[in-house]
A and B are shown apart, each in its own frame.
Chain A
């Protein structure tokens, strides 16, 4: 899976900046997407392209349980968030609805990858290739069950009794 990086070089990107509270009344996901990241980066909507990835630091998605957060990113075109760590409810919401891939990275990848870099994520080998810089980094593998839910396309498509 290839895409370009939008980098937020900070920890604690919270759900209230990913999708501010006043938009939790919006049920149309395409409209919700126009407000994604509005609290942190008002230019996000104009610069994000289908297939982009977000790169950020520790505790990404902390705060509210609003599933609107991964939904707003997903409908903006974001296919994966690469972060040093995730808040658990955000991580779970992202996987449940198969909205985007929450990928835990190591410090080397966080430091080396820059805004705009083209990245190739391979979840079979747990490798992240930086095509712009010609580097390769390891990602933390998904746990078995998370991998299965993601492959199935979300919680409601995954059938545990067929394991």
Chain B
């Protein structure tokens, strides 16, 4: 019987295999950041251990860096300490760090691919659940906790029970690919399979709806695999993948011979079997807007907020959850999504802050002003994205429309730095989680694509971006 892409990567990285239980898996790249690594380094020191492969470990600071003027000192003392601690740890253990002043600084999942550190067929781990992003390159990329970060620092390996391969097939052609985006595809998937639909699996996204996407769009898809509960999500590499990674700063010197081998090996065999399957036709999907407090609570922009009965389909906990979500979001069932007014717009995060996201959003706002009641910000995913966008003049388009144009970081995606919502504020956000309090205590998050966020900024409420001129 044939093998899935996931199984092939798995088998080529097994160090120790047991008859039952987890296998020991070799880790090709370990990405670290300031928030989930300090205790891991403390553990190494306590036990007199070294970092086994500092050359395969790469660090940046993203979660709590300020996104305003970087020439100023960091006011939040606890953030400053976490940042200084990462600097010291990287110095002491010989790890390459892209610090706050580096032109390569940025969200760890944006810079990995941009620098050519993310490679097809490799295993990548990071103490962050959105590590699944790197799966867009045909890598097995897993989010891990701090104990596992310490284990990988010390041993370059990870104990892992083999997840089940899950095929999600995306078929068809979007009628307006500028208005209906990768974000709308993945939000649709999560809407149908639920936030636990991928638990214990590694998703492989397949079909012409996936191969049609650019690399940056594929990253948006794989990024949100964790929101369906999956261990990882991946997409088989193709010529787009190889072209994207060619000539990057850390692209391996023997790249072309690697590509030859990847072309032959990194695909799911025709007769391979998946443990689970799901099919989505995307010909007629609409832009998506989340209305609740998890990413599965999502509907079409043309729909109305569902009632708890409609949403739950008889499941009492789902019904209770929907009611609680409506209370928190201060929404009434039957309210048309396009009638929901917003206070804030956040274009950023590892889901949607790459160059293409900013280009698409800029087309929506060019020559217009944001609604006077809205405060909007763009936080590029990396300093490289910011620089490229500025070279294209995108910063001027955003600033002319009254957007704030910021420095790179995770920012308002998770509310660790000063970029947060005030209680009760409602935000159209291109990030990945709409959990209660995620963007600040009492803040209300609606997950949308960059073009939908940009359109909402102009109108002051959600609007079907398919009705706007995006040429």
Contact = CB atoms under 8 A, between A and B. Distances in A.
Interface residues on B, range: 35 or more
A67 B146 contact: yes
A89 B82 contact: no
Interface string B134-174: 00000000011111101100000001010000000000000
B43 A156 contact: yes
**Top 5 A-B pairs, shortest CB-CB distance:** A96-B147, A93-B145, A145-B21, A67-B145, A25-B78
A10 B320 contact: yes
Nearest to A26: B78
Interface stretch (B4-12, B33-41, B459-467): B33-41
A12 B297 CA distance: 12
B257 interface: no
Interface in A127-145: 143-145
A88 B318 contact: no
Interface in A91-150: 92-93, 96-97, 143-145
B93 interface: no
Interface string B195-215: 110011000000000000000
A14 B36 contact: no
Contacts of B16: 160
Interface in B223-266: 226, 229, 231
A48 interface: no
30 contacts: A9-B317, A10-B317, A10-B324, A11-B317, A12-B195, A12-B294, A12-B321, A14-B435, A16-B435, A16-B438, A21-B415, A21-B438, A22-B416, A24-B416, A25-B416, A40-B436, A58-B317, A59-B199, A64-B414, A67-B146, A67-B147, A85-B199, A87-B199, A88-B199, A89-B143, A93-B148, A143-B21, A145-B159, A156-B43, A156-B147
A55 B12 CA distance: 40
Given A11-B318, A17-B437, A25-B82, A96 B38 contact: no
Nearest to B77: A25
B307 interface: no
Contacts of B47: 156
A66 B79 CA distance: 16
Given A14-B294, A20-B437, A93-B147, 17 more contacts: A11-B318, A12-B195, A16-B414, A16-B436, A17-B435, A21-B415, A25-B35, A25-B81, A25-B82, A63-B226, A63-B433, A65-B145, A66-B36, A85-B196, A96-B148, A143-B20, A155-B148
B441 A144 contact: no
A39 B229 contact: no
Contact of B229 (A24, A88, A155): A88
Contacts of A97: 145, 147
A156 B247 CA distance: 40
Contact of A144 (B20, B82, B229): B20
B145 A92 contact: yes
A40 B293 CA distance: 12
